[in-house]
Structure 1
Amino acid sequence: MIKIQQEDFNIQKEIDFLTKEHNDIGAISVFVGLVRDFNAHSKTKVQSLYLEHYPNMTEKSLQEICEKAKEKWTLQNCLVIHRIGKLKPSDNIVLVICGAYQRVPAMQACEFIIHSLKVKAPFWKKEFYENGNSAWVEQNPQDKELALQINY
């Protein structure tokens, strides 16, 4: 399941939803991404972050990533929630949950999905800094490297 939304998410509620009617899930792997209060490259203090996306195109991309994960690992269910709009430091930004019969496929699929999402999903992030400046965030080259390492 894919959700793109402005509102925050409740991690336990989403886990409960994912596992409902799936008694065959023996392991759940969860990744939660948060908004940082600084730019990782310039170390500039971030006041807020604004995320944009292309509706339908983003959902399709995330769905393809999840389908690929389901092909590579035996998953009973998976969920990706990505927030858009204006967020502030420490806000939840992304949630990936993978449920599988055993822990290894759940963990590997979760890692695959988040790395692939960072490289493939069409999201644009603009940071607003305490000094009044702002800048669009460029893709981190390390994300592409990590996605390639997990056989994207």
Structure 2
Amino acid sequence: MTSKRFAIMEQPIVIQQVIDQVVHPHAGAINTFIGTVRELTKGKRTLYLQYEAYPSMAEKKLAQIGQEIQERWPEARVAITHRIGRLEITDVAVVIAVSTPHRADSYEASRYAIERIKEIVPIWKKEHWEDGEMWVGDQLETTSYPEGAPKMEEEE
């Protein structure tokens, strides 16, 4: 496991290690979001997912989300780890840990983080079903790539 607060990794995520990065004496709440691979998506049985990312850019975008949270909830501490590679049903794909002095802020900041990940982080997934497969071009699932993986752009 990495000690980076914002990480993309191929090995399984150790949830407690992500949480440990946000523990501190002023935190009265730690909210942990754990995103897993589900079996059914839009009525199709998923066999497994293949995540790919532009790791250096993805980590920069995760850190950007952390900064945005810090600006909105100044007392928050955030750690986000997203896994790439082949993930089986029930595998952990993403862990977001947010600590704040009070629970409402930790819930709100955690929700903000997962929605922003889906909006701005360059991570793609290939869904493998019983009857086929398809690259999903963004985490909001608004763009697909039936002809293959999306092209990775040069780093900004």
**TM-score under structure 2 normalisation?**
0.81
Structure 1 segment 7-18 matched on structure 2, within 5 A: 7-18=11-22
After superposition, give the CA deviation of every residue in 1:9-32 in whole Å (9 maximum; x if it has no partner): 23233323431xx21111111111
- In the alignment, structure 2 segments of 5+ residues that lack a partner are 143-156
Identity %: 32
Query: What's the CA shift for 1:56?
Result: 1.1
For these two proteins, the number of residue pairs brought into alignment is 136
The match for 1:31 among 20, 24, 33 is 33
Structure 1 segment 78-117 matched on structure 2, within 5 A: 78-117=78-117
The match for 1:3 among 7, 15, 19 is 7
Aligned to 1:121: 121
- In the alignment, structure 1 segments of 5+ residues that lack a partner are 142-152
Query: What's the CA shift for 1:5?
Result: 0.7
Q: Say if 1:30 and 1:97, in contact at 8 Å, map to a contact too.
A: yes
Aligned to 1:146: none
Using a 3 Å threshold, how does the CA distance of structure 1 residues 51 and 35 change in structure 2: closer, same or farther? same
**TM-score under structure 1 normalisation?**
0.83
Query: What's the CA shift for 1:128?
Result: 1.0
Aligned to 2:141: 140
Residue identity opposite 1:13 in structure 2: Q
Q: Say if 1:24 and 1:76, in contact at 8 Å, map to a contact too.
A: no
Question: 3-state SS of the aligned residue for 1:23?
Answer: coil
Residue identity opposite 2:141 in structure 1: N
Aligned-residue CA RMSD (Å): 1.5
Q: Say if 1:75 and 1:105, in contact at 8 Å, map to a contact too.
A: no
